[in-house]
A and B are shown apart, each in its own frame.
Chain A
């Protein structure tokens, strides 16, 4: 059920990314990446260290790429 809801959310965000004229398309993509990481990748069961590591990495990457756009 969690997988299905995540999948539907990912689909909705993908369609929204494509049809919106908003400049925050990258932000929607980061939300999608987090959904994939934390739900599909079963990171829910991982140690907090991995959650912090990947969250920190993508947050830093998101800020850096947004600054370059």
Chain B
């Protein structure tokens, strides 16, 4: 029974993850309902989102997630030097995502694709903006882990290292659902 309430990273982080997944799922369902009710508008507006951009953003988050996973493995294998390198690479990949997305946002604003243009862009800014904030928090958490590993001040490694990285993977997993919905699925239904 004890193991149920003692998952990897600790119970608290799983409570946070379940809440976050539920919130993002609700937002995605709202977007899907909007899409099914306004298919022509959705298709026309989604064409402003380039598949190339979506690919670059997805690959940067996946790469960052891999580096973070390797960082955790190195940490618990007591390879602290390698751990620092993995976490540094993870932070850089995460920062790349933020810079790339920020530039993408700027370009959208310059051509008038803002929050108040229509419902599609309202949902786009709401969902991707919410995710962007999570990535910012995730990069801060990874930076804190790197600082803690460097200074050897981490007391609860299960919660700090594993739990922190779990939050980061949550950002990966959410983006993996947003990527096809916004950047790939521009067709009109399950068959295209």
* CB-defined contacts of A10 to chain B, threshold 8 Å: 62, 66
Q: Which residue of A lies closest to B51 (CB)?
A: A18
Within 8 A of B (CB), among A1-42: 3-4, 6-7, 10-11, 14-15, 17-18, 21, 23, 25-26, 28-29, 32-33, 36-37, 39-42
Q: How large is the interface on B (under 10, 10 to 19, 20 to 34, 35 or more residues)?
A: 35 or more
Do A11 and B180 touch across chains, with their CB atoms under 8 A apart? no
Which secondary structure dominates chain B's binding surface? helix
Instruction: Evaluate contact between A7 and B66: CB separation under 8 angstroms.
Output: yes
Which parts of B89-137 form the interface with A (CB within 8 Å)? none
The answer to whether B36 touches A68, judged by C-beta atoms less than 8 angstroms apart, is: yes
Residue in B58, B173, B185 whose CB lies within 8 Å of A25 = B185
A49 cross-chain contacts in B, Cβ below 8 A: 4
Which residue in chain B gives the minimum CB-CB distance to A58? B21
A65 touches B72 (CB 8 A): no
Residue among A23, A41, A69 making CB contact with B32, cutoff 8 Å = A69
For B144, what are the chain A residues with a Cβ–Cβ distance below 8 Å?
none
Closest to A50 in B: B7
Do A36 and B65 contact each other (CB < 8 Å), given the known contacts A42-B72, A69-B190?
Answer: yes
Chain A residues touching B, majority SS: helix
Contact of A29 among B14, B25, B73, B176 (CB under 8 A): B176
Assess whether A3 is in contact with B73, with CB atoms less than 8 Å apart: yes
Determine whether the beta carbon of A69 is less than 8 Å from that of B8.
Answer: no
For B51, list chain A residues within 8 Å (CB).
18
B153 interfacial by beta-carbon distance below 8 Å: no
B65: which A residues are within 8 A, CB to CB? 7, 36, 40
Chain B contacts for A4, CB-based, 8 A? 66
B177 close to A (CB within 8 Å):
yes
A59 at the interface (CB under 8 A from B): no
In the complex, the 4 A-B pairs of residues with the closest C-beta atoms, listed nearest first:
A68-B32, A7-B66, A25-B180, A42-B8
Given contacts A14-B58, A25-B180, A41-B169, 19 further A-B contacts (CB under 8 A): A6-B66, A7-B65, A14-B62, A17-B180, A33-B173, A33-B177, A36-B65, A36-B169, A40-B68, A40-B69, A41-B173, A42-B9, A42-B162, A46-B8, A50-B7, A53-B18, A68-B36, A69-B36, A69-B185
